[in-house]
Amino acid sequence: MSNVHPAFEPITSAEIESLGVRVEEYRHRRTGAQHLHIAADNPENVFLVALRTVPEDSTGVAHILEHTALCGSDKYPVRDPFFMMIRRSLNTFMNAFTSSDWTAYPFASQNRKDFDNLLDVYLDAVFFARLDPLDFAQEGHRLEFAETENPDSDLVFKGVVFNEMKGAMSSVTSQLWQKLSKYLFPTTTYHFNSGGEPADIPDLSYEELVNFYRTHYHPSNAIFMTFGNIEAAEHQAVFEEKALHKFDQLHKTIEVGREKLYMAPVRVEEKFPLSGEEGLEEKTHIVLGWLLGDVTDLEEALTAHLLAGVLLDNSASPLMHLLETTELGQAPSPLCGLDDSQRELVFVCGIEGSERERADELEQQVLKVLEDVAENGVPYEQVAAALHQLELQQREIGGDGYPYGLQLILTALTGATHRGDAIGLLNIDATLEKLREQIKDPKFIADAARKLLLENQHRVRLVLSPDPDMAGRAELAEKARLAQIKAGLDDGEKQQIIQTAKALAERQQRKDDESILPKVGVEDIPPELPKVEGEELQLNGAKVSRYSAGTNGLVYQQLVATLPEFTDEERILLPYYCQALSELGLGDKSYLEVQQWQAAVAGSLHGFTSHRTALDNLDSQSGHFILSGKALAANQAALTELMQATIEQVRFDELPRIKELLLQTLARREQSVVGNGHALAMAAASAGFNRAAADGHESGGLLGLRQLKALVKSLDSSAGLETLAGKFSAIHQKIAGAKRQFLLIGEDDKLAGFTDALSPLANSGTDNGAEENAPFSPHKVQEVWVANSQVNFCAKAYPTVPMSHADAPALAVLGGFLRNGYLHRTIREQGGAYGGGASHDVNIGAFRFYSYRDPRMAETLKDFDASVDWLLNESHEDSQVEEAILGVVGGMDKPGSPAGEAKKAFHSNLYGRTHAVRQAFRRKVTEVTLQDLQRVGRTYLQPEKASTAVVTGSQGREAGLALDLHEEKL
């Protein structure tokens, strides 16, 4: 182990060769705080401090505390240090999370000065939070009069978390999980909604929040976790100096006990609100859930993962095959799989798009599949393939979503939270090796299925059915509750509500002294954008772009074909063709056999398309089809063979399978609306600007969802399916004949052999790229889209310029400038939305404002306009411009995984966004001035040029129509 600080004692350490890291565990002598350090040769250092948080109700106390703790501390008594630091930093990640049994505060940075700054602020925020009652009112919940200073007007609930959870619980998937957890966990903390149920949040008092903080946010209950090339002892010196020396051990153990198990299965029914005019037919969810055992028992956990993989990994897996093909529902449930994020493992399977009276039959069908597995086992090849997938997940170096170090930390955190073997959850090679031996016994999986599922009496069957009146009843109940509260108020209490609102408004408007916070500046920005270089060579007339990267024994390869010209109908169908391509049969193999083939040789294989406009012309765009795969290096030739068969032998005659795939896609797209509403609203608002923007709204946006619904309805007849299959085949013929090139990423010593294996895929196709200047008539958009949501997502968009235009860097900086200086305060703090901001998209030439999980609509749209007035007419400081510049550069410099960085470099080059072009853009960003921001604001953000789109629920429809927005139905 590396040097240890005297305040800490070493516990254990382990080298994990498959991950290229050393994990070290330490204990703080005085408080018992745990420190887990993952030493890695990686300049992106990650810090996380987690507290075990175990709520005993659904008031959202842990979640509201997570928000409130970040609103000022002893050393940094400013109103909003967390969001201030986001803009005074070159962080690659900053956030805070509330899980069901822990709350965590993570950040990452590649800049040492920045890392030290953030560590200082985070430690003070967590252990010395001020918890101002006004911050609790802002972030949690408060009462206000609808007309703030008029005590005769109606009372309303306000608060960021209150509105966030209204939005979160608009998601049917979230409701399904919460309802299932309520019955799977009758006695432990998971029975409750740790995020907070909107109806329960107003029950939380400020005193209860403070008491929860005192017992839970103490070093004795804390887990410090670090990753990167800073030594453990250096971190420990800071922990000790900044926080730990001020505490003694807390003689209270916060933990989650084991659940009290049922003696017989439980069957329950619940409802969820469904508004809209589509009817309630086939909208019911039916799921079965089991508790499988202790998450900290590595062998037990990996056996459960393997069993879940065998049953559900792909369409050829026995249970997934049933759920995809049963006529009792439209698609497998989004909850299908194994959840290992809590004290006990949870296995779930089920369907959506069903009816409540089908529950008995589904349960019987599921149990019959499990009986068959327990009686007869499954072929060794399928078990080996599932284990192969587990190994791939373990080996792959991530970092394209979260920083790689944070992914490893979160993997270990579950074990640390429950005082188990956190290192073991990372170091699974020995257990994988043991499983390799165990699966040679044909009874191994059969016995696991019998023990963990069939004979396990702690099983819950949940039927979740739609109720069109439930949202209305909840709204009426909230209004009745508020009316009752108001009726009980005396004049003094009414004045107190008015005074609190006034005090909060004054606090939100107050200009804090930001200089007390540490910062980095433009001078700390590295002069060069990180560069990833590859090499190009020819293979049978096709170009191969090769990148050497530390991929830990994996290979990534892509077949990249120039997109040919399509008819309008083919263009609409293209996303669904891409999704179907790797899910159908090949040659004489059925899709089930192909799924087994894929699982045995590849980590993934999927098709997709990408489009970019020209650097200097938004009306000119080009695109490519990509077939992308990854595998263990030993399987590269087999992966290439699979890719070749996919391109040359795909069959579109499996009509029921095509219908299944489209139903599943529709179900996923519908579920994603409330989680992604701001992006969908922005896409809708921009759709009238040019062909590229319209394509985005049509392929991945709300218009595409509506078209997909119509397409699925047309498949009810076999003639409709045959016609669609014929269109897919026509699309495929065009793509298969298009000119190809290849991307290859792997470890340096293996690249030459990988390249030779690709030769069967090379072709002499035609480079008949699609017409780049398709006619398009620009138009304004004024739309309100009504979905199943309790909150709003607002967007306003303005047409702008492409990447090479001189104004593009200033427009990129302007988004952060408006968010930091105006929109965050008015939309989030004062308006109560979970988030809001602005950004510039150079690919479609659009500057876009947005809000996320927003209780307001007209007022938010006015705030967008008011931010432009603020930009043009108020006085500003150069430091505000610098903060916005830091945000843009930090985003450009943010590292991905080794393979992800290579992919980004290749695809940027493919569309002319070379390193030199991006470096020049980055340099211009650092030179943006306040005058530039005001000039581009005046030039482009003119009211008459604005397009508006709002995604709302039935409760917001009238408000949208009152704004002269045209109603669009999904």
Q: Please report the DSSP string for 137-189 in residue order.
A: HHHT-EEEESSTT-TTSPEEEE-HHHHHHHHHTTSHHHHHHHHHHHHH-SSSG
Q: Residue 6, exposed/middle/buried by CB under 10 A (0-12, 13-18, 19+)?
A: exposed
**Does residue 771 surpass a pLDDT of 50?**
no
Mean pLDDT of 592-600: 95
Pick the closest to residue 413 from 491, 493, 342, 461 (CA basis). 342
Pick the closest to residue 534 from 760, 754, 740 (CA basis). 754
Phi, psi of 774 (to 5 degrees): -60, 140
pLDDT per residue as tens digits for the range 398-409:
877 789 999 999
Which ranges of 824-914 would DSSP assign to H, the alpha helix? 858-873, 878-893, 898-910
Check for a shared fold between 8-140+204-253 and 266-467.
yes
pLDDT per residue as tens digits for the range 278-291:
678 899 999 999 99
Alpha-carbon span 120 to 518, nearest angstrom: 9
- What's residue 540's pLDDT? 87
pLDDT per residue as tens digits for the range 890-945:
999 988 888 999 999 999 999 999 999 999 999 999 999 999 999 999 999 999 99
pLDDT per residue as tens digits for the range 824-856:
999 999 999 999 999 999 999 999 999 999 999
Q: At what angle do helices 878-893 and 930-940 cross, to 10 degrees?
A: 80
Domain ranges of the chain: 8-140+204-253, 266-467, 535-564+585-651+737-766, 653-734, 782-969
Pick the closest to residue 662 from 613, 709, 717, 722 (CA basis). 709
> Which tokens sit at 617?
């012309």
H-helix or E-strand containing 21? strand 21-28
Mean pLDDT of 874-878: 94
> Which tokens sit at 691?
């062909």
Alpha-carbon span 583 to 589, nearest angstrom: 12
Protein fold of 782-969: Cytochrome Bc1 Complex; Chain A, domain 1 (3.30.830)
Mean pLDDT of 349-373: 97
Say how many C-beta atoms besides its own lie within 10 A of residue 651's C-beta: 17
**Does residue 345 surpass a pLDDT of 60?**
yes
- What's residue 2's pLDDT? 63
The dihedral of CA 705, 710, 712, 713: what is its sign?
positive
- What's residue 778's pLDDT? 94
Question: 3-class DSSP state for residue 747?
Answer: coil
Task: Please say whether the beta carbons of 194 and 103 come within 8 A.
Answer: no
Task: Give the percent of the chain with pLDDT over 70.
Answer: 98
Higher pLDDT, 773 or 163: 163
Alpha-carbon span 742 to 628, nearest angstrom: 10
Please state which of the ranges 387-401, 538-552, 682-696 shows the lowest mean pLDDT: 387-401
**Does residue 806 surpass a pLDDT of 90?**
yes
Pick the closest to residue 549 from 404, 709, 711, 663 (CA basis). 404
**Does residue 648 surpass a pLDDT of 90?**
yes
Higher pLDDT, 808 or 766: 808
Taking the C-alpha atoms of 165, 171, 172 and 174 in order, what is their torsion angle to the nearest 10 degrees? -50
Say how many C-beta atoms besides its own lie within 10 A of residue 149's C-beta: 11
> Which tokens sit at 42?
């990686």
**Does residue 770 surpass a pLDDT of 80?**
no
Protein fold of 8-140+204-253: Cytochrome Bc1 Complex; Chain A, domain 1 (3.30.830)
Question: 3-class DSSP state for residue 335?
Answer: coil
- What's residue 767's pLDDT? 64
Question: 3-class DSSP state for residue 527?
Answer: coil
Mean pLDDT of 794-818: 98
H-helix or E-strand containing 206? helix 206-216
Alpha-carbon span 257 to 242, nearest angstrom: 33
Alpha-carbon span 842 to 418, nearest angstrom: 46
> Which tokens sit at 162?
């209150």
First vs last C-alpha separation in the chain: 58
**Does residue 802 surpass a pLDDT of 60?**
yes
**Does residue 763 surpass a pLDDT of 80?**
no
For the chain, how many residues are written? Answer: 970
Asked if CATH classification 3.30.830.10 holds for the domain at 266-467, the reply, yes or no, is yes
What is 447-505 written as a DSSP string? HHHIIIIIT---EEEEEEEEETTHHHHHHHHHHHHHHHHHHT--HHHHHHHHHHHHHHH
As a CATH number, domain 535-564+585-651+737-766 is 3.30.830.10
**Does residue 241 surpass a pLDDT of 60?**
yes
Q: Residue 957, exposed/middle/buried by CB under 10 A (0-12, 13-18, 19+)?
A: middle
Alpha-carbon span 816 to 838, nearest angstrom: 7
Which ranges of 602-741 would DSSP assign to H, the alpha helix? 636-649, 655-671, 677-686, 691-699, 702-713, 718-736
The dihedral of CA 59, 63, 67, 70: what is its sign?
positive
Return the ∠ at Cα 722 (arms to 720 and 727), rounded to 5°: 95
Residues forming a β-bridge with 157: 143
